[in-house]
Chains A and B, each alone.
Chain A
Amino acid sequence: MIKHKVLLTLFLFLFAANGAFAAKTAPAAAVLDGLTAVDMPYDVGNAAILRWPANPSDAKDTVYVVYASSLQTGGWVEAERFDSGARTGKDIELPFWAWSGSVKEHAVKVELNNIFGEGQIGLSSQFKVSVLEKGKKLIAESLPVAVTPVGNWFRLDRLNNLILLIGLIVIFFWAVSHAKRKGLFIRRIAGLDAIDEAIGRATEMGKPIFYVPGIGSMSSISTIASAFILGEVSKKVAQYDSQIKVPHYDPVVMTVCKEIVKQSYLEAGRPDSYREDINQFVSADQFSYAASVDGMISREKPAACFYMGYFMAESLLLAEVGATSGAIQIAGTDVEHQLPFFFTACDYTLIGEELYAAGAYLSKEPMLLSALKVQDFGKLVVMVSVFFGMILVALGAKFGWTDFVQGILHLFRNY
């Protein structure tokens, strides 16, 4: 009996000693104060922003871990992990007019759809932040905070973009109304002036003209511009009673171009010359399309080739074969990395904006021509902005006006 009591006393003593030792080595974690969770502004409603004051005394190896949960209790999932020096209020990707952040606080944007999947809009989520020493040992933890993200109706961060757009629309309408009163000077575009020469050459040689609208879909601006040029080119072709062939990559573009070409033949007074096979679907595969069009060019030896629209790697495959066949070649694209291939393989190349202007230039309609002035105005705005922006940023960097420089950069940034 005495033996049992001694053993029990010894066991209790050891247990108590162990507990006391454990309590001494792992003190309770401190509470991280000041954590707030707010709905991420100007988004669809699937993100939240957590903010809490930065602790200047944090060691370099201190790590913050953000946990999120879609449940009332438990269910914590690690959302973010970062060093104590990172993720300040200044790091949130919003401009100064839409967000006020400081380096004295931590601010973390948590994308809830990345953690819990889609469908989180309007549902409450909970967050907590843990502070770890050397990435392992818990030294502080916040109390859970909750937020219900909601969808917003305006992207305030895109205000700069909207103001520029409104400015352009105002100038656009001014230019269009101005066009009705008097004509405007438009500089010559050699590539477009050469269209008559190319069609005339084809007529004299009795050979066809190939018009390649590229591999863009009808939603691509360059394809739309290409369709406008096709209208003017096919009208001239109809007037000269020459032949035109338009191989297509996209069936929707083919359908639109069929109507455009048919209308052009009607306007030229030659509806009898229109044939259904002028527009022909070739393939919706890039290299199959290139191979097929190359084959046609090699066999038929056209007098002129037009490459207008959206092009990728097939640009050189087409233009080089056209050059080898001896055709006069006019190209135009807004894909800037394909321009060098067209420059070297074609006689004339329309660079991006010239392609967009081509429809107006060829049709010579005052309203369309005047709209080109808006492009010039846009370029003027960019040139003036670049010039003064450069000076202001240089001055800001020289005199250490960091916030001022950031403000200037925010104005010209796309969000």
Chain B
Amino acid sequence: MKLIKKQIPLAIVFITGVLTLVSYYVPHKTSVDYIETMNKWENIVVAFAFLLGLISLFFSHYHKIARKADGWGYSIFVFVGFLAIIIPAYVSGGKQMVEGVLTPLGWAYKYIYTALSGTMFAVLAFYIVSTAYRSFRIKSMQAFVLFVAAFILILGKVPLGQIIWDSVLGWTGQRAPDVIEWIMQVPAVAGKRGIMIGISIGAIVTSLKIIFGIEKQYMGKD
């Protein structure tokens, strides 16, 4: 049992991991073909897993409706939304446009899906404002530094801010766009690079832990 549940999966992870790692240093066509094959396998697995996901989604919402759980009415929209796309897709043979004319699928995609996605994305703008308001509440030294940097950026980006800057800090000889440029190119990039270096090294070590079987929490304990 341990062989099937532990050793074989670990061997598969090790062999696949090492081969994929080696393929980074081997430019030969064999290596390229191997990566392409792995990608194809991944796509096949994803396709089957998507079916599992769909079944999970339908069962979950069906049970909510059947049990009349809190908010069960929203679950109806899962099925309505599914049918609103799948029926036009079936009728249109999967094509969004035929001879320059929108098919029912094209119509559903353009006037339902794209509109809803756009709405959701637009909501982000309002959330950015409320988040900015929260981050401007100075509760610590770090929050103060964040506030000062953000305030300078805002000041330099709007015409009124530039007028204020020139009248108050004009004597320093520094223009608002220059200060903004410096903030964006020096401290911001330095911080970002520090984070990226940490992330890269962390990713390498995590990969090594998985390849060499040190990290096997995803398979449960012995």
Contact = CB atoms under 8 A, between A and B. Distances in A.
Contacts of A351: 195, 198
Interface of chain A, main secondary structure:
helix
Interface string B50-75: 11111011001001000000110010
Interface centre among B25, B124, B205, B210 (most CB of A within 10 A): B205
B209 A371 contact: yes
Contacts of B53: 248, 250-251, 254, 281, 284
Interface in B5-47: 24-30, 32, 42, 45-46
Nearest to A227: B218
A340 to B, nearest CB: 8
B214 A266 contact: no
B116 interface: yes
A353 B203 CA distance: 8
Interface stretch (A3-11, A133-141, A373-381, A398-406): A373-381
A280 interface: yes
A260 interface: yes
B159 interface: no
A1 B103 CA distance: 82
Given A172-B205, A254-B53, A290-B120, A368 B215 contact: yes
A382 B70 CA distance: 53
A254 B27 contact: no
Contacts of B70: 299-300
Contacts of A78: none
A260 B218 contact: yes
22 contacts: A45-B28, A121-B29, A151-B28, A158-B25, A168-B204, A168-B205, A169-B208, A172-B205, A221-B202, A224-B218, A251-B50, A255-B49, A259-B220, A291-B116, A313-B124, A316-B124, A317-B123, A323-B134, A334-B203, A367-B214, A378-B201, A382-B197
B25 to A, nearest CB: 5
Contact of B203 (A221, A260, A267): A221
A207 to B, nearest CB: 13
Nearest to A287: B120
A359 B201 contact: no
B195 A339 contact: yes
A252 B205 contact: no
B117 interface: yes
A252 B25 contact: no
A291 B127 CA distance: 13
Interface residues of B, number: 60
Contact of B127 (A155, A221, A300, A316): A316
A231 interface: yes
Contact of B57 (A281, A356, A375): A281
A266 B120 CA distance: 39
Interface in B180-222: 192, 195-199, 201-210, 212, 214-215, 217-218, 220-221
Given A295-B74, A316-B124, A359 B57 contact: no
Contact of B217 (A231, A266, A316): A231
A256 interface: yes
Given A43-B27, A152-B27, A352 B198 contact: yes
Interface residues on A, range: 35 or more
A97 interface: no
Contacts of A282: 57
Most buried by A among B25, B123, B197: B25
A252 B48 CA distance: 9
A90 B36 CA distance: 33
Nearest first, the 10 A-B pairs at minimum CB distance are A251-B53, A353-B202, A281-B53, A352-B199, A378-B201, A263-B220, A356-B202, A287-B120, A251-B49, A344-B135
Given A165-B204, A280-B56, A267 B221 contact: yes
Contacts of A367: 214
Interface string B61-93: 001000000110010000000000000000000
A382 B196 CA distance: 12
Interface centre among B51, B57, B202, B210 (most CB of A within 10 A): B202
A267 B49 CA distance: 26
A154 B198 contact: no
Given A152-B27, A154-B26, A343-B135, 7 more contacts: A228-B217, A252-B45, A263-B220, A320-B130, A334-B202, A357-B202, A368-B209
A379 to B, nearest CB: 6
Contacts of B32: 44
A219 interface: yes
A256 B203 CA distance: 20
A336 interface: yes
Interface in A236-282: 248, 250-252, 254-256, 259-260, 263, 266-267, 277, 279-282
A96 interface: no
Interface in A289-341: 290-291, 295, 299-300, 313, 316-317, 320, 323, 334, 336, 339, 341
A379 B198 contact: yes
A316 to B, nearest CB: 5
A299 B202 CA distance: 37
Contacts of B132: 344
A344 B198 CA distance: 21
